[in-house]
Amino acid sequence: RNFYYITMLRDPVSRYLSEWKHVQRGATWKTSLHMCDGRSPTPDELPTCYEGDDWSGVSLQEFMDCSYNLANNRQVRMLADLSLVGCYNLTFMNESERNTILLQSAKNNLKNMAFFGLTEFQRKTQYLFERTFNLKFISPFTQFNVTRASNVDIGEDVRQRIEELNFLDVQLYEYAKDLFLQRFQYSKQEEHQKNRLKRREERRVPR
């Protein structure tokens, strides 16, 4: 079979707040094996941020204070090839080199996917999806601007802290948004050009 890999990216601050609210309600990823190079990470490589069954009721400050919280830069980590940096072994190379390699790997994998969309641009995402796979959805995508994340009232200092914790995701999202909008504009221009040629041909037929 031929598999088409696609993904959706989200604004890093909104995504982080959404995950915090999800964890606060009792969500865990205990069943995730985090496999890399044929094995799962050891407890020393991937410690947990909490004791007990889950992290229910965690405050945003506690969530941010856990230095090995997998919510940090999750989008880059999930798109990058972790084997390039020794998987979850943080002693494999220095932090700066590791971050550079992870970000570049995530960008390359995103660019080479069959398709990616952005949560903040639902209609444009639908348009590009339909153009990419030559299909039509029966109803338009809906843009929900009111979410659990948007209902969280945070100050500028907290927002800045979240951006610092997710600085790789912030860079990836800026790259993704630029590439996404370029592809959208190109597809629109291509569509207009085809429509002009089609109308021109239609006018020629009676003659």
Sorting pLDDT into bands at 50, 70 and 90, what band is 166? very high
Question: Rounded mean pLDDT of the chain?
Answer: 94
Q: Contact 8/117 with Cβ under 8 angstroms? A: yes
- pLDDT beyond 70 at 71: yes
- pLDDT beyond 90 at 130: yes
**Per-residue pLDDT at 207:** 58
Higher pLDDT, 138 or 148: 138
Sorting pLDDT into bands at 50, 70 and 90, what band is 134? very high
**Per-residue pLDDT at 206:** 65
User: What CA–CA distance (Å, rounded) separates 105 from 187?
Assistant: 26
Q: Domain-by-domain residue ranges, the chain?
A: 6-204
User: What CA–CA distance (Å, rounded) separates 178 from 154?
Assistant: 27
- pLDDT beyond 90 at 81: yes
pTM of the model: 0.92
Q: In terms of C-beta distances under 8 Å and separation of at least 24 residues, what long-range contacts does 82-85 make, across chains too?
A: 82/36, 83/36, 83/37
E-only strand ranges, 61-184: 115-118
User: What CA–CA distance (Å, rounded) separates 168 from 74?
Assistant: 9
Within 13 Å and on the Cβ side, how many CA atoms surround 108?
Answer: 8
